[in-house]
Every structure is written in structure tokens, then in C-alpha cells.
Amino acid sequence: MIHQPVLLREVIEYLDPKPGENFVDCTIGGGGHTAAILERNKPNGRVLGIEIDLELYKKLQAAETKNQKPKTKNRLILVCDSFVNLKKIVEEYNFKPVNGILLDLGLSSWHLEESGRGFTFRKNEPLIMRYGSPHKSERLSPTFVGTPENLTAGQIVNNWPEEELVRIFRDYGQERFARTIAYRIVRERAIKPIKTTFELVALIKRSVPPKYRYGRIHFATRIFQALRIAVNSELENLEKVLPQAMEILEKEDRLVVISFHSLEDRIVKNFLRAQAKEERLKILTKKPVTPSETEVFKNPRSRSAKLRAALIT
């Protein structure tokens, strides 16, 4: 188990795993939340862990094989797939009953530090930003949009029309200088393709006022967020998985979702409110639960996390 799980104490509090209960971790990532659940639902409770990224999935598999103890044997089921197929996965593995579902929508530390796919503006890497995509995806497609299976940040930056760039920077990144940045991208790519994160960061820097370059949030943060969301269809996939979770869960089961920006949180909040209005669940978190100062100090990446939880009625 390789990364620092966000809001771990709160996840356990709201999922409330008990011996013999089964849970689905839709975004197992480094496995920290799953490890804590398995500790509490022993001796025979199980976790179905879904990981979309093949490279990370193989690392988890290897770690599980190496470190597996008799008490956890056969209690963790690892699946390489997207949580957008949640209902199909649960049925395929006959994983029933399900007592709780966790969605941690954050980026894994592995993606930032080891994947080499351009998720961070702090390293000079190819503009891929795709979960589960092989490095050959670095090649730029001559087509306009590519397909959901091979779309990369490089394709978007180098091929999408200016107005589409403005739209995703504004809608997905909430970037106030979306139009200026899109304008410069289109002019620069006409001279030569923009292939790396550092090339994109330098371009963004030249597109924003000097004062904007030294704010609390790095000036490239919102553009990188927007590209990652667009490449991986993150908001659309979240909207697809939440109704599936409701179909799987039954009375007294629990749903916990951790989001990391306002667009995700709004989708989760509105969905839970709509379900509560229909008396299908009870919202356990009147306001989103956020990390303590101590957690943010120990793990700065947790600072934007928001947890919402519900009990199925």
C-alpha cells in the first residue's frame, strides 16, 4: 500500500465497516482506504477494489501477492476497469451483498510522481494526462478529437479549435484567463506542436498578468485540471457511476464520496439532495467534511478534499 489516503479516519467513520461486511473501493489507487477497511471487516469481510490504470493495477497486484497474509487471502478482489462500469463489475464478480461504496476522486500520488504522463506541471513530461494509457499515446493524432480510448492532453492542446479550448479552460478549470491562454496556444502551435508540460507551463505564464503568476495557487493549476478532466471524461463518468451505486446499495448501506474541486462536489451534492428528496437516502454530512489542519500539514495534497456521505433508507 503506497500512498497517503485522504480523510482516512472520516472514511472509516462514515463507511463504518463491521466484521463480515463487503465494500467496493471504486478508486483503489494506492490502497490506503482499502487496507483500513480490510482491517475492520475481518475475518471474512471482502473489498472489491477497482483501478482503471493498468500500470498501477499491476503494481497493486504485485504488492498484494508479495505481502498477502493468510487473514487477507481471498478478501481483496482487484479489478482493472473503470468505475463507470460499476454495476457490470459487481455482477460479473458476483460481489454481493455490498454494504458500502467508496469513491475517492483524487489523483493518485503514483500518477503525479511516477507515471510520467504529464499530470503535474512540476515535471517535464509528455502531455498525456490519461489514466491507463500507454506511453505511445504521446503521439499526436492528426484527427480533430481522437476517441475516448486514445485522447490525450497533447491532442487537445494541438488540435482542438480555439473556442473549444476556451470552453474547457473556463468550464472545467474555472480559469479567468481562459480566452487569453487559448489564443496563445493556437498561435504557438501553428509554429510548432506543444509537446511537453514545461512548454505548456511557459506558454501559460506568458499569457497571464505578472501578478497572477505568484498567487496562492500555481498559475498552471487550473489549465492542467481542465485538460485532465477533458481527457478522462471525469465529470461525465461521475454522473454515470452515482446512479449505479444507488442500484447496488440497499437499506442501511452507505455511500461515501471524496471530491477535490467544486465541479465534482457540486455533482455529488446535487445528486445526494435529489435522492434525499425522494427519500431514498439520508445525507449524513450536512456540510462537506474537510481535512484537519494537521492532515493538511502532513499531506498538503489533501487540502481541497471534501467528503460527503449518505445512508440508504
Residue bearing the bigger pLDDT, 56 or 88: 88
Residue environment code for 231-255, b if the CB has 16+ CB neighbours within 10 A, otherwise e: bbebbebbebbbebbbebbeeebbb
Show the cell assigned to 198.
Answer: 514545461
**Is 136 a residue whose pLDDT tops 50?**
no
User: The CATH number of 8-110+234-312 is which of 3.40.50.150, 1.10.8.50, 3.40.50.2300, 3.40.50.2000?
Assistant: 3.40.50.150
- The answer to pTM > 0.85 is yes
**DSSP class of 140:** P
Distance CA 236, CA 264 (A): 10
Q: What angle do CA 47, 31, 101 make, to 5 degrees?
A: 40
Distance CA 24, CA 100 (A): 6
Residue 141 pLDDT grade (very low, low, confident, very high; cuts 50, 70, 90) = very low
Distance CA 156, CA 141 (A): 9
**Is 103 a residue whose pLDDT tops 90?**
yes
Domain ranges for the chain: 8-110+234-312, 116-232
Residue length of the chain: 313
Mean pLDDT of 93-105: 97
Distance CA 250, CA 30 (A): 28
Kindly compute the dihedral angle of the four CA atoms of residues 203, 144, 154, 81, in this order, to the nearest 10 degrees. Answer: 140
**Is 196 a residue whose pLDDT tops 70?**
yes
Summarised one tens digit per residue, pLDDT across range 154-195 is 999 999 999 999 999 999 999 999 999 999 999 999 999 999
The pLDDT score that the predictor gives to residue 2 is 46
Give how far the C-alpha of residue 137 lies from the chain's centroid of Cα atoms, to the nearest Å.
20
Q: What angle do CA 156, 159, 165 make, to 5 degrees?
A: 55
CATH number of 116-232: 1.10.150.170
The pLDDT score that the predictor gives to residue 147 is 47
Summarised one tens digit per residue, pLDDT across range 235-288 is 999 999 999 999 999 999 999 999 999 999 999 999 999 999 999 999 999 999
Give the residue carrying C-alpha cell 511557459. 202
The pLDDT score that the predictor gives to residue 135 is 42
Summarised one tens digit per residue, pLDDT across range 161-170 is 999 999 999 9
Q: What angle do CA 163, 166, 168 make, to 5 degrees?
A: 110
Q: Are 184 and 206 in contact (CB under 8 A)?
A: yes
Q: Where are the alpha helices (DSSP H) in the chain?
A: 8-15, 32-40, 54-67, 86-92, 109-113, 153-159, 162-171, 178-189, 197-207, 221-232, 234-248, 262-277, 293-298
**Is 71 a residue whose pLDDT tops 90?**
no
**Is 73 a residue whose pLDDT tops 60?**
yes
Helix pair angle (162-171, 221-232), 10° resolution: 100
The pLDDT score that the predictor gives to residue 62 is 86
Q: Where are the alpha helices (DSSP H) in 121-256?
A: 153-159, 162-171, 178-189, 197-207, 221-232, 234-248
The pLDDT score that the predictor gives to residue 138 is 39
Residue 142 pLDDT grade (very low, low, confident, very high; cuts 50, 70, 90) = very low
Distance CA 112, CA 106 (A): 11
Q: Are 48 and 25 in contact (CB under 8 A)?
A: yes
